[in-house]
Structure 1
Amino acid sequence: MPELDVLVNGRNYRVACGPGEEDRLLRLAADLDRRVQGLVRSFGQAGEGQLLLVAALLLADELDEAKGAVKQIAGLDERASESLNQLADRIEQLAESLEHA
């Protein structure tokens, strides 16, 4: 299993990842570092644990919002599918009416 050094808030961390996931891990670590640096600029250099906790909570909030959006989209997709089925049924009824006319 590959291990990489990632830099977050000026500290190196050794992290393992799956084969082929190295670039993704580096991108994720860079995103986390960017968020932590933003917190440092906003609130000052608080304790490392506090900064990482707030960054994790912000990420969890984004994830929760994204999950909600996915559920909304899935609901819209289901309603669209139902509407298409109803339209197909209506078209079939109209076609039958025209055949018998």
Structure 2
Amino acid sequence: MAELTISINSRPFQIMCRDGEEAQVQQLAEDLATRIANIRRDVGSGHRAGDSHLLVLTGLTMCNELRDLRHEIGRVRDEVEKTTAARQDLHARIEELEETVSGALEQAAERVEDLLS
């Protein structure tokens, strides 16, 4: 395990992470710090939001984004399923048409043979 110091809301935190994940954890910490700073800015200077309050607001915002992303993933999955089903139906229809055309060509060839003989 690796020990890492991250800075959130201008405060240092010592955390542990798996070896090799330090850069990723640092990037996540920077993302969180940016989100907190944005919420602090949006709340405005007239409202004194403490660390806990800012973390709760940031957490709620991130949960909302996660919920929206899950909804979008579900919508995309549904669309993929519909597209896959439509593609399968189309392939089945193409096979039917190929059989129909093949049968019609065979009948036409037989008629031509009958006419020529």
Residue 57 of structure 2 corresponds to residue 54 of structure 1: yes
TM-score, scaled relative to structure 2: 0.81
The CA deviation at 1:86 is: 0.2
TM-score, scaled relative to structure 1: 0.93
Larger radius of gyration: 2
Gaps of 5+ in 2: 105-117
Quote the residue 1:68 is aligned against.
71
Q: Provide the identity percentage.
A: 30
Letter aligned with residue 47 of structure 1: G
Quote the residue 1:87 is aligned against.
90
Local SS of the residue matching 1:46:
coil
Which residues of 2 match residues 1-101 of structure 1 at below 5 A? 1-43=1-43, 44=45, 45-101=48-104
| Cα deviations by residue, 1:60-89 (Å, 9 ceiling, x for unpaired) | 111110111001000000000000000000
RMSD value, Cα? 1.1
The CA deviation at 1:41 is: 2.0
Looking at both structures, which has the greater relative contact order when contacts are Cα pairs under 8 Å and sequence separation is at least 6?
Answer: 1
